[in-house]
Amino acid sequence: MTSLTRENVETVALRAGLLNSGEKIVRYELEPYSESKAGILGQHQLLRVQISDQTRTSATHKSFFVKSLSDESTAIAQLMDGIFIEETHFFDKVLTTLSRTCRHEKWLPTCYLVQPKQLVFEDLRAQGFSIRESFPLNETDIRSALSSLAELHAYSLMFEGQSSKKLTEIFPNAFKERVFTSGHKYGEIIALGFKTIELMARKLGLDSNLVPEIMRRVYESVRPAKDARVPNVICHSDLWKNNLMFDQSQPPKCVLVDFQLLRYASPSIDVGMLLYINSTPDFRKKMESQMIEHYYEALRHAISRSDAEIVLPSCEALKEDWQKRRIVGMTYACMYLPGHYLKKEKSDLLMNDPKILEKWLFKDRFGLISKAIDEDPIYKERMTAIVSDLIEEEKHLSLAV
């Protein structure tokens, strides 16, 4: 893991507006950000900086969040190395370019230092932001997360509204599909994910023969949309609960973190992932249409701040596109939630034991899942709900063709 030099720390302090005339850094230190991992692919630390000058009797203390690549030569480290570059490029190049012409509300953390193997951000935790311990998210949190997601999507729409080029033309090496593809290490994880879905369906008495067609449909759906009525946007593409941080205000503000799996696609992909991973089937049954409308109004509001002439898709067109692509969100749920809904001691091991996590990601997930289905009726009920949703959606889409 790359260490921070004093020069690095001084750069961070200057960009954070901490070093005025006569002030200097007295000391700085790195410590673990938390006892357990907040994410599965990076090394997280807290940078504490002490600043003082001759005119003050007390020093100023400030903390920053440091995200680094691991120096380990494991499959997970190789995976991280392949996607960390996406996040560094986003903060160093893409965001810098977009911010020259676009104003936005706070939906992401401020980044003060970008290095090939390290990023230094503001410490959101010190500002009262945290990951929700309770799961699934409640309606208020989902609305806040959808509002922040709309800010991200509006940001790229506002930029393209003022530019003569698409973002993919300006940044040809950004937003490459890294998840549903055979050309990336992450593709191995997804291939195993579909195999696991097939095994789950078979064990639960569902039609596993539809899984190959689901896979084909999902790979097609995440590509940039060709329907001119629905624009493509920068999609976050990793909207599980640990990448959503909320403050204590009412309603809470939500900040999105971890921009490693960006893609350029229909906004429905992100909306579907957010809803299907972070809410229950009952919630979606009652509130799905309202959540799409909430997202649409948040998108419209964000775009209204721009001076550019932006043609906003109609809410009806967005809902129609959502109906075609929400199967991607259902697929994400079938890949994320089996691990998340394991009993706490098992899910904690996945998050904190590299060997167990590596086996889960690249070799075998069904062993743990099958055992949990046999031993835990609630787990079985939850897995049945998400897998049957996916299978039934594929039946519905096949009949609609």
> Could you report the per-residue pLDDT of 89-99, keeping only the tens digit for each?
999 999 998 88
Query: Average pLDDT of 29-40?
Result: 74
For residue 74, what pLDDT is reported? 77
Query: Average pLDDT of 12-22?
Result: 88
Omega cis (within 30) before 32: no
Task: For residue range 337-361, list pLDDT tens digits in order.
Answer: 999 999 989 988 888 888 899 999 9
Quick check: 39 pLDDT over 70?
Answer: no
Dist CA 350 CA 344 (whole Å): 10
* 115: confidence class by pLDDT, cuts 50, 70, 90: very high
CB 134 within 8 A of CB 278: no
Dist CA 235 CA 269 (whole Å): 8
In this structure, what is the dihedral angle of CA atoms 136, 140, 145, 148, given to the nearest 10 degrees?
Answer: 180
- The answer to which of 39-43, 139-143, 218-222, 302-306 has the lowest mean pLDDT is 39-43
pTM for the model: 0.94
Quick check: 38 pLDDT over 50?
Answer: no
Task: For residue range 238-253, list pLDDT tens digits in order.
Answer: 999 999 999 999 999 9
* Top mean-pLDDT range of 7-16, 82-91, 97-106, 156-165: 7-16
| Number of other residues whose CB lies within 10 A of the CB of residue 56 | 11
Quick check: 71 pLDDT over 60?
Answer: yes
- For residues 337 and 74, the model is more confident at 337
Quick check: 37 pLDDT over 70?
Answer: no
- The answer to which of 26-40, 164-178, 257-271, 384-398 has the lowest mean pLDDT is 26-40
pLDDT averaged over every residue in the chain: 91
Dist CA 317 CA 107 (whole Å): 25
| Number of other residues whose CB lies within 10 A of the CB of residue 22 | 10
* Cα Rg of the chain (Å, integer): 22
Query: Average pLDDT of 360-382?
Result: 97
Task: For residue range 161-195, list pLDDT tens digits in order.
Answer: 888 889 999 999 899 999 999 877 889 999 999 99
| Number of other residues whose CB lies within 10 A of the CB of residue 290 | 11
**% of the chain beyond a pLDDT of 90:** 74
- For residue 190, the Cα-to-chain-centroid distance in whole angstroms is 16
Dist CA 66 CA 3 (whole Å): 10
CB 201 within 8 A of CB 387: yes
Task: Give the DSSP per-residue string, 264-323.
Answer: EE-HHHHHHHHHHHHS-HHHHHHHHHHHHHHHHHHHHHHHTT-SS---PPPHHHHHHHHH
Task: For residue range 281-334, list pLDDT tens digits in order.
Answer: 999 999 999 999 999 999 999 998 877 778 888 999 999 999 999 999 999 999
- The answer to which of 157-166, 266-275, 359-368 has the lowest mean pLDDT is 157-166
For residue 203, what pLDDT is reported? 98
For residue 56, what pLDDT is reported? 61
For residue 185, which phi and psi values (nearest 5 degrees)?
Answer: -55, -35
- The CA-atom distances, in angstroms, between 371 and each of 126, 175, 346, 379, 390 are 40, 38, 12, 10, 22
